Structure 1
Amino acid sequence: MGKIKKHILSIMIISITSQMYLMLFTNGFAVSAGIITFFIIYYFYRDLNSIITGVFSGILVCLLRVLVSMVYGGNFLPGLISHFPETFFYIVIGVSLSFFMKKGFFDNLGKVFLAAFITDILANGTEMFIRNKIGIIILDYNIMGTLTLVALSRAFIVWIILNALKYYRLLLVNKENAEKYKKFLMISSGLKTEIYLMEKNMDYIEKVMAEAYNLYEKISSNEEKDTWKENAINIAKNIHEIKKDYSLVLHGLKDVTEIGISEENMYYHDITNIIEDGIKKLIKGENIDGKIETQLGENFLTSSHFYLISIFRNLLVNSVDAIANRKNGKIQFIHESNENNHIFKIIDNGTGISEKDLEYIFSPGFSTKIDYNTGNINRGLGLSIAQDIAENKLNGSIKVFSELNTGTMFKIEIPRTSLEVKE
């Protein structure tokens, strides 16, 4: 669903639920469920513009209230004067939501409760201030005390609903995990078969190597010329057999990895949780003085979860290595989006990459990670794999920006059409 449709649907839902209200005071002041709906919608759809939604929801709520009052015999102008302050109630909610989202309050349900409470107080306070200024209502301590209790109640309802949805989702995930465990057993058994074939091929390879070396010695010493042709043919035959066996292994591995997962999709937030948990464990296991911070952004359904996990893991592991010898190391994992693309940024304050190395970092085999104590060198395939998947599998791009001794940023941009599937 496009952003415009999501905005329209959100505005309609908020406006309709706002008609579920209680009249606490006189002169049209209503306490509704609109703010509860507003928070729940934006908890799950954080890519939407809450300010736009607030403005149009406020206007529509006001018009609906006026229309309802006219149905019951009221007049348009008095109804408009009575209800137009509610427009500012929803505008303040939109602005407040935008602020709290940027500050990361929506990554923790305790902070969501606090944000909902503060937002409710600000929105109601603004509406009451306007009503007081135009002479509709007179403010006193009793009214403000009641509004504080209302704000606490609605914030608590938001917290309860989001927790209930969270635990319901966990139940579904646990059920899915049980099914995935069964599939994992099937995959494991299939992999063992392919490993057996690969081990068998190792014997063939050693045999071919021995035959090839034997032929080399004969040619070098110019001996047994009459056997050269037969030896060469045997080597070619054995290589052909090895190739056939490895073709079968490759075919088998493809079948194994597609057992029960070819039609499965994942939400981006679930992918992020898996990756974040793994990186946190890696940082802790390596005793690194560092942390990872995530900005989830839009939640979308994708069938390319394995590709995304591979890209993110390779880049994030690279960032973990970069902050390994730093104090207060920090990795930021950010998701943004626009009309056409998903944009992922992985930023660290690690050692950085020298300018002369930047043009080579995506080359297979290139690595600056050398253990001078053991002489071991990293394979240098992680960044190359990430680039290949991003560009050739997902039709996207990957760029790197780095400054030595300051830090590095990887920016991955992938078209929505390459990632998203319909729910």
Structure 2
Amino acid sequence: MKTLLIGDDFINKLKTTLTAAICIALAAQVNFQLFAPGFMISLAPIILPIMLYFNRDYNPVIIAFSAGIISSLYRGLILFVSSNIDNIFEVIYADALFYFAYGILFLFLYGNKSKSTLTNFFAATVISDYFSNLLEVSVMLHFKNFQLEIFKTLIIVAFIRATIAVFVILLSRYYNFLLRREEHEERYRKLILITSNVKSEIYFMNKNNLQIEDVMKKAYYLYKALSLEKYPENLRVTSLDVAKDVHEIKKDYISIIKGLEEQFNDSNDIVQMNIKDIINIVSDEIREFIRSNKLKVYIDFKIHNNFNVSNHYYLVTVLRNLIYNSIEARESKKTEYINVDINKYRDECVFIVSDNGTGIRTEDINYIFNAGFSTKFKEQTGDICRGIGLAHVKGIVDEVFKGTITVESQVGIGTKFTVKINQDEMERVSK
């Protein structure tokens, strides 16, 4: 197994080295002649340091030597086919010498550094480029006829190519930074949505816990009443067993709630979010849902005033439930328009979610906020929706935000939900 891993590592390194060498060799073909026949100024010394920078785990001498061999062979073939230069072998030799010298200089100036910066990289690139070019042109001139202009030009060329290489690396860093930031923002949005779901469920689990306790008490009182009236023992035992079973269910229920609360504690609730950031998160999720399901739904968010929200997880739950309720209430063949209008009038924050969906019958208006009530069902299966969404919304608006929610609707025209919350309650952290 170890032998296989070593073999795979060697193959991967060989592929990377050959890929870098081929890219450098191709870049070397973009060039212009200078100083002596066969001496070229090319793009290769720009690509070479970039390849060395992004493959710092590899020996720069090996990459440079590989590039030198491939580039020299490729260049020699081109010269042989298309050029009248007599000293082809000298040109190839000088070209290869450039890469060999570059790799060795770069290794000592940058590759062996345990801690290196872009400044060190820039200096190593300039020096490696300059002296390698100087060696190449010296060979081409047979170490004769040196002029000051050659030294000046080579240092300028080395400086320009090193600057371009550093600029490309900085662009790559910035691009990666944008990708990481986008990924971080996406994860943060998902965390907000997941937390809002869990916290709202915890809130209603705590409410249900009170109902469970009430059932347990009723079962125990029934046991006492049956005992006083001397009902048959099997009835008394059954009623007591019911009380015990409910008590065990309550213990498990409390354990689950505590576990969730520990994972989703309130430490982040004290950090306020402004309403624009909240809407951006909700909007992205809703639009992605519409796109992925290819729905004929257009949604528009309008925020007239920006304000802070402390219990943002609960507000996300309210808005998402109302919007998804509108989406579910649409007619399948009709294009639906949903408008979310957010404004602040004096000290009151107002949220309006309206649509042009199927509407709600007048006789159903008074029941839509009751848990378990639903007018929606799946035509394919006949299953009725559980009807918990609007009950959640009203519970959170009433008890968490101390606000109000009203609904106006006409069958075939649409529905409008209006949520009003005092600004002090909006900014207050729930205990």
Largest Rg, 1 or 2: 2
TM-score class, shorter-chain normalisation, is 0.3 to 0.5
User: TM-score, with normalisation over the residues of structure 1?
Assistant: 0.46
User: TM-score, with normalisation over the residues of structure 2?
Assistant: 0.45
